[in-house]
Structure 1
Amino acid sequence: MTDRYSEDDVVATVTRLTRSQLVSFIECNFVKPEREAGAYVFGRIDLARLELLCDLSQDLDLDETGLGIVISLIDQLHAARQDLATLAGVIDALPTELQTGIMAELKKS
């Protein structure tokens, strides 16, 4: 399985996606593929995002404004989860007594 997809590959793989929707999603910056030799190149994460965009636009009948709001919120949630995972890793690297102190403070709030 490849990690790089052309526009044709994307439209063939994401079966609910039309070429015009793909262009619209790119123009709205809902998906941001790389550019190589004047052509778009998509990754697996782009395909997953396009599947989600199709679900939201077709199943929930969201327009571009609604899609923009929902995708922004999903992106913020993913960023918060990444920040939390980083923070947990930093705490795990601390000495046990500091970890215990942090956990005690967290339980107070």
Structure 2
Amino acid sequence: MITLETLCVRIGNVPAADVQGWIDNAWLRPEGVPGHYLFREIDEARARLIVELRDDMGVNAESMPVVLSLLDQLYAARRQMLRLREIISVPRESELRGRVRALLASMQD
């Protein structure tokens, strides 16, 4: 886990006020409380994504929630497809049917 200051440096010397804005907009969800945030690797990766979308691709603040939501959905679908591929690779049909049913049930959450 890293602090806000460390995160800001690692993602390209982004001002802490920018990162605080991302937290306020729920684009980042660190652990802790204001003034004492702790960021995980996944938070750092998401912050890098936000910087890339903003700086390299020109995504503005109004569009960012939509873009992030679509990317989150894409990543979730990818994880589900990988799980489905794992299940399908099991050779026994009865076990396969049960796993597919369980996967489909979990996808409704």
What is the RMSD computed on CA atoms of the aligned residues?
2.3
Residue 67 (structure 2) pairs with residue 77 (structure 1): no
Count of residues in Structure 1 that have an aligned counterpart in Structure 2? 96
Q: Which structure would you say has the larger RCO, counting Cα contacts within 8 Å and 6 or more residues apart?
A: 1
Unaligned ranges ≥5, structure 1: 100-109
- Structure with the bigger percentage of strand: 1
Unaligned ranges ≥5, structure 2: 97-109
* Contact kept in structure 2, 1:35 and 1:41, CA below 8 Å: yes
Give the secondary structure class of the aligned counterpart of 1:41: coil
Using the TM superposition, name which of 45-54 and 60-69 deviates more.
60-69
**For 2:83 and 2:74, how far apart are their aligned partners in 1?**
14
Instruction: Give the AA of the match of 1:70.
Output: V
Residue 19 (structure 2) pairs with residue 32 (structure 1): no
How far 1:36 moved relative to its partner? Answer: 6.2
What percent identity do the matched residue pairs reach?
A: 25
Q: Bigger radius of gyration, 1 or 2?
A: 1
Q: Which residue of 2 aligns with 1:48?
A: 45
TM-score, L = length of structure 2: 0.76
Residue 96 (structure 2) pairs with residue 89 (structure 1): no
TM-score, L = length of structure 1: 0.76
Using the TM superposition, name which of 68-77 and 8-17 deviates more.
8-17
**For 2:75 and 2:91, how far apart are their aligned partners in 1?**
25
1:23-64 CA-to-partner distances (Å, cap 9, x unmatched) read 111111111111169611101111111111011112222222
**For 1:11 and 1:28, how far apart are their aligned partners in 2?**
17
* Contact kept in structure 2, 1:33 and 1:42, CA below 8 Å: yes
1:53-86 CA-to-partner distances (Å, cap 9, x unmatched) read 0111122222222111111111000000111111
Q: Which residue of 2 aligns with 1:10?
A: 7
**For 1:43 and 1:74, how far apart are their aligned partners in 2?**
19
